[in-house]
Amino acid sequence: MENREKPIGVFDSGVGGLTVFRELMNELPKERLIYFGDTARVPYGSKSKETVTKYSRQIVHFLEEQDVKAIVIACNTASAMALDEIEKEIDIPLIGVVRPGAMAAVNATKVGRIGVIGTEATISSEIYSNFIHSIKEDAKVIGKSCPLFVPLVEEGLWEDPVTEEIARRYLTELIDTGIDSLILGCTHYPLIKRTIGRVMGDEVTLVNPAYETARECRHLLEEKGLLNPNSVKLSENAYTFYVSDEADKFRHFANSILPLGILGAKKIDIERY
Amino acid sequence: MENREKPIGVFDSGVGGLTVFRELMNELPKERLIYFGDTARVPYGSKSKETVTKYSRQIVHFLEEQDVKAIVIACNTASAMALDEIEKEIDIPLIGVVRPGAMAAVNATKVGRIGVIGTEATISSEIYSNFIHSIKEDAKVIGKSCPLFVPLVEEGLWEDPVTEEIARRYLTELIDTGIDSLILGCTHYPLIKRTIGRVMGDEVTLVNPAYETARECRHLLEEKGLLNPNSVKLSENAYTFYVSDEADKFRHFANSILPLGILGAKKIDIERY
């Protein structure tokens, strides 16, 4: 197979990265995509940098074995903790979600005050904050963890008064700081973007790192001449899904997010890689 | 150390098992207790039987190394998936939360209709249902998973209109079935027992497996002559806590549940066992 025709690998600690997968489908409709969700070892947020790097390296090895032309880390924790180290070890492009999200937020803010919401691990790691300061030293970054958002999303309460009430409790203190852009720093959050937007109001630009990452991925492939020139044949599967545990639960959630029916996900033993 | 003076080991996938620990403190005030929370690999509910058994076996090996006289599996998933297999491999008593909870519910019901609430994994495993039918063949068991209860409890919303609203949504269909006893089939749920009781009404007996397990543990130790005859000296620590990750977060939650200040939890590398 020609390099340009090879698939793009995408991985996450679980199902959240499917929002990035969805954006890649939209942005790069001609590309083959392979998704790996580490459902046996989710969540990464509570694990050490060493552990997350080890897990990410195993997944990268697995995806290299699938002969991918680029890899997207669709996971905030792994992007923050493992990308720099693993990037040096491989020959294909590696794209994380943090950099594109941070860049877009810096471009969007007029007042220089940026909010970041995410899991406790993402917020306390200050990864977005550090990255933003590396490109805009004087930006003020205000982080807020929203632990109930992931379970509310996974319960399907995307448009629900309970989710809106919880969002109000979490976000009121952010509104009071006068931010004008807000990074959805967790891959689940784009699914409740409308609720978050209603609570934050029209003055605040919501930055979706999933979308920004898909755009960055397209630019990078373009630059390197790696865009697939031909559409995938209808007789072929353009999208393949792998998980490390519980393929059934994954399929159910995937089908609620993606605009196509997932026939199935293959379970693999990731610890072998 | 004499066998009777040895500690009891207690483990859970995370912090929820502390409700069982709390009942053991009440029921067996003279006993030394060692708690292990597998905070690096939580949750177990979404993992396969094979994975949960492997993890439980590692923890049992760790607790055996601490020279415990008995082990309490303070986790519904692990009790359901791993107890039978591991029980055959060790020489000390192994007590799970499922059997005592099921027995108490059978004793409590007059109409023969029992409800069970728990995580998706516990409910779909039908472990309570199977156990109840093995002691009362004609009982009708109605299970209902309540995935948001754990994150709501961990967020501290024990008495909160949001928790009550979610409880109403989950429990209304159970009330309509005419059950008269309800098993709180997840270790976190006793912390919102009052809310659940308000929603279910006075006619329904709430069965707390944590409490029943502590009683069963006392009976078993009594029977085997293993009760500690002496109180632990004030100069000694009666209670020790281990976790596999994030000892700080654990301490915070533990202090909100237990009637004493936890000085600290030691982090160990459970994958070594």
Interface test with B, best of A77, A244, A246, A250 (most B CBs within 10 A): A246
Ranges A35-44, A162-171, B170-179: which has the least confidence: A35-44
| Mean pLDDT rounded to a whole number for chain A | 94
Interface test with A, best of B15, B42, B46, B150 (most A CBs within 10 A): B46
Catalytic residue, candidates B10, B28, B186, B204: B186
C-alpha–C-alpha distance, residues B151 and B143, integer Å: 20
**Within this chain, do residues A85 and A8 fall inside the same structural domain, yes or no?**
yes
Q: Say what the ipTM of the complex is.
A: 0.85
Structure tokens at B199: 């929603």
- Here the CATH number for the domain that contains residue B108 is 3.40.50.1860
**Within this chain, do residues B188 and B133 fall inside the same structural domain, yes or no?**
yes
**Within this chain, do residues B165 and B263 fall inside the same structural domain, yes or no?**
no
Q: Which residue did the predictor score with more confidence, A50 or A168?
A: A168
Domain span at residue A195?
99-209
DSSP assignment of B94-110: EEESHHHHHHHHHHH-S
- Which of A209, A241, A258 corresponds to the end of one domain? A209
Look up A217 and say whether it is catalytic.
no
The CA–CA distances, whole Å, from B267 to B18, B127, B246, B251 equal 17, 31, 7, 11
C-alpha–C-alpha distance, residues A146 and A32, integer Å: 34
What pLDDT score does A49 carry?
85
**Within this chain, do residues A53 and A104 fall inside the same structural domain, yes or no?**
no
How many angstroms separate the CA of residue A47 from the nearest CA in chain B? 6
Helix residue spans in A82-234 (DSSP H): 83-87, 98-108, 120-125, 127-135, 149-154, 161-176, 193-200, 209-223
pLDDT at A239 over 90: yes
Please give the helix or strand (H or E) that residue A25 lies within, else none. helix A18-27
B151 in contact with A, Cβ within 8 Å: yes
**Within this chain, do residues B148 and B226 fall inside the same structural domain, yes or no?**
no
Average pLDDT, integer, range A17-27: 96
**Within this chain, do residues A151 and A232 fall inside the same structural domain, yes or no?**
no
**Within this chain, do residues B196 and B102 fall inside the same structural domain, yes or no?**
yes
B158 in contact with A, Cβ within 8 Å: no
Which chain B residue is nearest to residue A169, measuring alpha carbons? B162
The CA–CA distances, whole Å, from A221 to A63, A79, A225, A227, B273 equal 17, 19, 6, 5, 45
* B224 Cβ contact partners less than 8 Å away, ≥ 6 residues apart: B93
Q: Which residue did the predictor score with more confidence, A151 or A260?
A: A151
Scanning B72-101 for CB atoms below 8 A from A yields: none
- Taking chain B (273 residues) in runs of 10, the rounded mean pLDDT of each run is 93 95 96 95 83 95 98 94 95 97 97 96 90 96 96 94 98 97 97 97 97 98 95 84 84 85 84 90
**Within this chain, do residues B126 and B161 fall inside the same structural domain, yes or no?**
yes
Chain B residues closer than 8 Å to A41 by CB: 41
**Within this chain, do residues B224 and B236 fall inside the same structural domain, yes or no?**
yes
Look up B75 and say whether it is catalytic.
yes
Query: Based on the structure, what is the number of domains in chain B?
Result: 2
**Within this chain, do residues B67 and B146 fall inside the same structural domain, yes or no?**
no
Residue type, B198: R
First-to-last C-alpha distance (Å) of chain B: 23
**Within this chain, do residues A87 and A112 fall inside the same structural domain, yes or no?**
no
Instruction: Give the DSSP letter of residue A148.
Output: T
What pLDDT score does A252 carry?
83
- Which of B163, B179, B209 corresponds to the end of one domain? B209
**Within this chain, do residues A39 and A131 fall inside the same structural domain, yes or no?**
no
Scanning B43-72 for CB atoms below 8 A from A yields: 46-48, 51
C-alpha–C-alpha distance, residues A81 and A62, integer Å: 19
- Which of B209, B229, B247 corresponds to the end of one domain? B209
Average pLDDT, integer, range A189-211: 97
How much of chain B is helix, strand and coil, in % rounded to 5? 45, 15, 35
C-alpha–C-alpha distance, residues B5 and B127, integer Å: 33
Average pLDDT, integer, range A117-145: 94
What pLDDT score does B167 carry?
98
Ranges A155-164, A249-258, B31-40, B54-63: which has the least confidence: A249-258
C-alpha–C-alpha distance, residues B152 and A149, integer Å: 11
Please give the helix or strand (H or E) that residue A267 lies within, else none. strand A266-267
% of residues, chain A, pLDDT over 70: 100
